[in-house]
Amino acid sequence: MSTTSASARTDSLSRDALAVLQPGFRGTTTAPDWLLRRIDEGLASVALFGRNIERPEQVAALTGQLRAERGDLLVAIDEEGGDVTRLEVNEGSSFPGNLALGAVDDPDLTRAVAQEIGRRLAEVGVNLDWAPSADVNANPDNPVIGVRSFGADPKLVARHTAAYVEGMQAAGVATSVKHFPGHGDTAVDSHHDLPRIDADLNVLADRDLVPFRAAVAAGTKAVMSAHILVPALDPNRPATLSPEALHGLLRRPVADGGFGFDGLIISDAIEMKAISAAYGVERGTVLALAAGVDAICVGGGLADEDTVRRLRDALVQAVRAGELKEERLADAAARVRALADWARLDTRGAGSAPSVAAAPEVGLAAARRAVRVTAGPRATAPLTRPAYVAAFTPMASIAVGDDTPWGVAAELARLLPGTETEALDNARVTEHGVPETIARVCAKAGERPIVAVVRDVHRHTWMTDALAALVTARPDTIVVEMGVPQAAPVGALHIATHGAARVCGRAAAEVITGG
Active site residues: 191, 268
For 506: left if phi > 0, alpha if psi spans -120 to 50, otherwise beta; the answer is alpha
How far is residue 246 CA from its own chain's centroid? Answer: 21
Q: Which residues contact 408 (CB under 8 A, 6 or more apart)?
A: 389, 451, 453, 480, 482, 505, 508, 509, 512
Choose among 29, 21, 81, 22: nearest CA to 47. Answer: 22
What is the per-residue DSSP string for 111-123? HHHHHHHHHHHHH
Other beta carbons within 10 angstroms of residue 274's beta carbon come to 25
What's the CA dihedral at 271, 275, 276, 278 to 10 degrees? 180
Distance CA 190, CA 6 (A): 40
Q: What angle do CA 64, 222, 123 make, to 5 degrees?
A: 30
Q: Is 98 helix (H, G, I), strand (E, B) or coil?
A: helix
Distance CA 502, CA 140 (A): 23
Q: Which residues contact 454 (CB under 8 A, 6 or more apart)?
A: 392, 463, 467, 479, 480, 481, 482, 483
Q: Cis bond leading into 192, ω under 30°?
A: no
What's the CA dihedral at 505, 508, 512, 515 to 10 degrees? 90
Distance CA 382, CA 370 (A): 19
Q: Which residues contact 97 (CB under 8 A, 6 or more apart)?
A: 80, 81, 82, 83, 84, 147, 148, 498, 499, 500, 501, 504
Which residues does residue 196 pair with via DSSP β-bridges, in sequence order?
229
Which residues does residue 128 pair with via DSSP β-bridges, in sequence order?
76, 174
